[in-house]
Amino acid sequence: MLKTLRENTIAAGVLTLIRLYLGYSWLTAGWGKLTGGFDSSGFLKGAIANPVKGPDGSMVYSMYVSFLKGFALPNVDIFNTIVPLGEFLVGLGLILGCLTTAAMFFGLVMNFSYIMAGTISHNPTDIILGAIILFAGFNAGKFGLDRWVIPFIKKTAKQDVPIKQNN
Protein backbone atom coordinates (compact mmCIF):
# COMPACT_ATOMS: atom_id res chain seq x y z
CA MET A 1 0.00 0.00 0.00
CA LEU A 2 2.74 2.47 0.98
CA LYS A 3 4.74 1.56 -2.13
CA THR A 4 1.69 2.35 -4.30
CA LEU A 5 1.13 5.62 -2.47
CA ARG A 6 4.76 6.64 -2.97
CA GLU A 7 5.34 5.44 -6.55
CA ASN A 8 2.12 4.99 -8.53
CA THR A 9 1.19 7.61 -11.14
CA ILE A 10 -2.56 7.17 -10.55
CA ALA A 11 -1.94 7.68 -6.82
CA ALA A 12 -0.01 10.85 -7.73
CA GLY A 13 -3.12 12.12 -9.51
CA VAL A 14 -5.35 11.38 -6.51
CA LEU A 15 -2.77 12.96 -4.21
CA THR A 16 -2.81 16.06 -6.40
CA LEU A 17 -6.57 16.39 -5.87
CA ILE A 18 -6.18 16.00 -2.10
CA ARG A 19 -3.27 18.47 -2.16
CA LEU A 20 -5.30 21.04 -4.07
CA TYR A 21 -8.27 20.66 -1.70
CA LEU A 22 -6.10 21.11 1.40
CA GLY A 23 -4.06 23.85 -0.25
CA TYR A 24 -7.16 25.87 -1.09
CA SER A 25 -8.42 25.47 2.47
CA TRP A 26 -5.11 26.66 3.97
CA LEU A 27 -4.59 29.44 1.43
CA THR A 28 -8.05 30.96 1.92
CA ALA A 29 -7.83 30.69 5.72
CA GLY A 30 -4.44 32.43 5.69
CA TRP A 31 -5.53 35.06 3.18
CA GLY A 32 -8.61 35.87 5.24
CA LYS A 33 -6.43 36.41 8.30
CA LEU A 34 -3.80 38.41 6.39
CA THR A 35 -6.37 40.80 4.94
CA GLY A 36 -8.87 40.84 7.80
CA GLY A 37 -6.90 42.27 10.73
CA PHE A 38 -6.24 38.95 12.51
CA ASP A 39 -5.71 39.01 16.28
CA SER A 40 -5.03 35.70 18.00
CA SER A 41 -5.16 37.06 21.57
CA GLY A 42 -8.84 36.15 22.05
CA PHE A 43 -8.25 32.62 20.76
CA LEU A 44 -5.20 32.19 23.01
CA LYS A 45 -7.02 33.53 26.08
CA GLY A 46 -9.93 31.18 25.37
CA ALA A 47 -7.63 28.18 24.98
CA ILE A 48 -5.94 29.04 28.28
CA ALA A 49 -9.21 29.70 30.16
CA ASN A 50 -10.97 26.61 28.75
CA PRO A 51 -8.32 23.93 28.22
CA VAL A 52 -9.13 20.51 26.81
CA LYS A 53 -10.07 18.27 29.74
CA GLY A 54 -10.23 14.52 30.06
CA PRO A 55 -13.09 12.50 31.58
CA ASP A 56 -11.65 13.02 35.06
CA GLY A 57 -11.66 16.81 34.63
CA SER A 58 -7.89 17.22 34.44
CA MET A 59 -6.14 19.09 31.63
CA VAL A 60 -5.13 16.82 28.77
CA TYR A 61 -2.52 19.13 27.22
CA SER A 62 -1.16 20.96 30.25
CA MET A 63 2.28 21.50 28.65
CA TYR A 64 0.63 23.10 25.63
CA VAL A 65 -1.50 25.36 27.83
CA SER A 66 1.68 26.35 29.71
CA PHE A 67 3.30 27.18 26.36
CA LEU A 68 0.30 29.33 25.38
CA LYS A 69 0.28 31.10 28.74
CA GLY A 70 4.04 31.55 29.12
CA PHE A 71 5.14 32.19 25.54
CA ALA A 72 2.37 32.60 22.97
CA LEU A 73 0.19 35.12 24.78
CA PRO A 74 3.08 37.37 25.88
CA ASN A 75 4.35 37.30 22.28
CA VAL A 76 0.96 37.57 20.62
CA ASP A 77 2.28 39.99 17.98
CA ILE A 78 4.60 37.28 16.66
CA PHE A 79 1.70 34.82 16.46
CA ASN A 80 -0.49 37.42 14.77
CA THR A 81 2.09 37.39 11.97
CA ILE A 82 3.24 33.77 11.77
CA VAL A 83 -0.19 32.10 11.95
CA PRO A 84 -1.76 33.82 8.92
CA LEU A 85 1.51 33.83 6.99
CA GLY A 86 2.10 30.17 7.82
CA GLU A 87 -1.42 29.18 6.76
CA PHE A 88 -1.05 31.11 3.50
CA LEU A 89 2.39 29.62 2.71
CA VAL A 90 1.24 26.07 3.53
CA GLY A 91 -1.66 26.57 1.13
CA LEU A 92 0.58 28.02 -1.57
CA GLY A 93 3.08 25.18 -1.23
CA LEU A 94 0.34 22.57 -1.48
CA ILE A 95 -1.40 24.19 -4.44
CA LEU A 96 1.85 24.63 -6.37
CA GLY A 97 3.18 21.25 -5.27
CA CYS A 98 6.37 22.97 -4.14
CA LEU A 99 8.15 21.56 -1.08
CA THR A 100 4.94 19.60 -0.59
CA THR A 101 6.05 17.41 2.30
CA ALA A 102 7.50 20.37 4.19
CA ALA A 103 4.33 22.39 3.64
CA MET A 104 2.18 19.48 4.80
CA PHE A 105 4.36 18.88 7.86
CA PHE A 106 3.86 22.48 8.99
CA GLY A 107 0.17 22.26 8.14
CA LEU A 108 -0.12 19.21 10.40
CA VAL A 109 1.74 21.03 13.18
CA MET A 110 -0.85 23.81 12.98
CA ASN A 111 -3.74 21.30 12.83
CA PHE A 112 -2.52 19.57 15.98
CA SER A 113 -1.96 22.95 17.67
CA TYR A 114 -5.57 23.92 17.00
CA ILE A 115 -6.81 20.58 18.35
CA MET A 116 -4.71 20.90 21.52
CA ALA A 117 -6.22 24.36 21.96
CA GLY A 118 -9.69 22.79 21.86
CA THR A 119 -10.76 23.60 18.30
CA ILE A 120 -12.13 20.64 16.41
CA SER A 121 -13.69 22.09 13.21
CA HIS A 122 -12.36 20.21 10.15
CA ASN A 123 -8.96 19.54 11.74
CA PRO A 124 -9.38 15.75 12.11
CA THR A 125 -10.23 15.39 8.41
CA ASP A 126 -7.33 17.66 7.48
CA ILE A 127 -5.00 15.57 9.64
CA ILE A 128 -6.02 12.33 7.95
CA LEU A 129 -5.67 13.81 4.46
CA GLY A 130 -2.43 15.56 5.46
CA ALA A 131 -0.96 12.31 6.79
CA ILE A 132 -1.69 10.66 3.44
CA ILE A 133 0.15 13.50 1.67
CA LEU A 134 3.05 13.31 4.11
CA PHE A 135 3.37 9.50 3.82
CA ALA A 136 3.30 9.74 0.03
CA GLY A 137 6.44 11.87 0.05
CA PHE A 138 7.68 13.05 -3.35
CA ASN A 139 4.76 11.42 -5.20
CA ALA A 140 2.36 13.95 -3.66
CA GLY A 141 4.16 16.75 -5.49
CA LYS A 142 4.93 14.79 -8.66
CA PHE A 143 2.34 16.81 -10.62
CA GLY A 144 3.63 20.10 -9.28
CA LEU A 145 6.81 22.12 -8.92
CA ASP A 146 8.42 19.37 -6.83
CA ARG A 147 9.07 17.56 -10.12
CA TRP A 148 11.84 20.13 -10.70
CA VAL A 149 12.51 21.60 -7.25
CA ILE A 150 13.31 18.35 -5.41
CA PRO A 151 15.86 17.06 -8.00
CA PHE A 152 17.49 20.52 -7.99
CA ILE A 153 17.77 20.49 -4.19
CA LYS A 154 19.17 16.93 -4.21
CA LYS A 155 21.70 17.81 -6.92
CA THR A 156 22.76 20.99 -5.11
CA ALA A 157 23.05 19.22 -1.76
CA LYS A 158 25.27 16.50 -3.24
CA GLN A 159 27.83 18.95 -4.60
CA ASP A 160 31.04 18.82 -2.62
CA VAL A 161 31.87 22.02 -0.86
CA PRO A 162 35.62 22.34 -0.34
CA ILE A 163 36.56 22.77 3.31
CA LYS A 164 39.48 25.05 3.94
CA GLN A 165 41.68 23.76 6.73
CA ASN A 166 43.87 25.99 8.83
CA ASN A 167 47.29 24.57 9.64
Residue range 111-158, pLDDT digits in tens:
999 999 999 999 999 999 999 999 999 999 999 999 999 999 999 988
Q: Is the pLDDT of residue 61 over 90?
A: yes
DSSP-assigned letters across all residues of the chain:
-HHHHHH-HHHHHHHHHHHHHHHHHHHHHHHHHHHTT---HHHHHHHHHS--B-TTSSBS-HHHHHHIIIIITTTHHHHHHHHHHHHHHHHHHHHHTSSHHHHHHHHHHHHHHHHHTT--TTHHHHHHHHHHHHHHGGGGGTTSTHHHHHHHHHHHHHS--------
**Model pTM?**
0.90
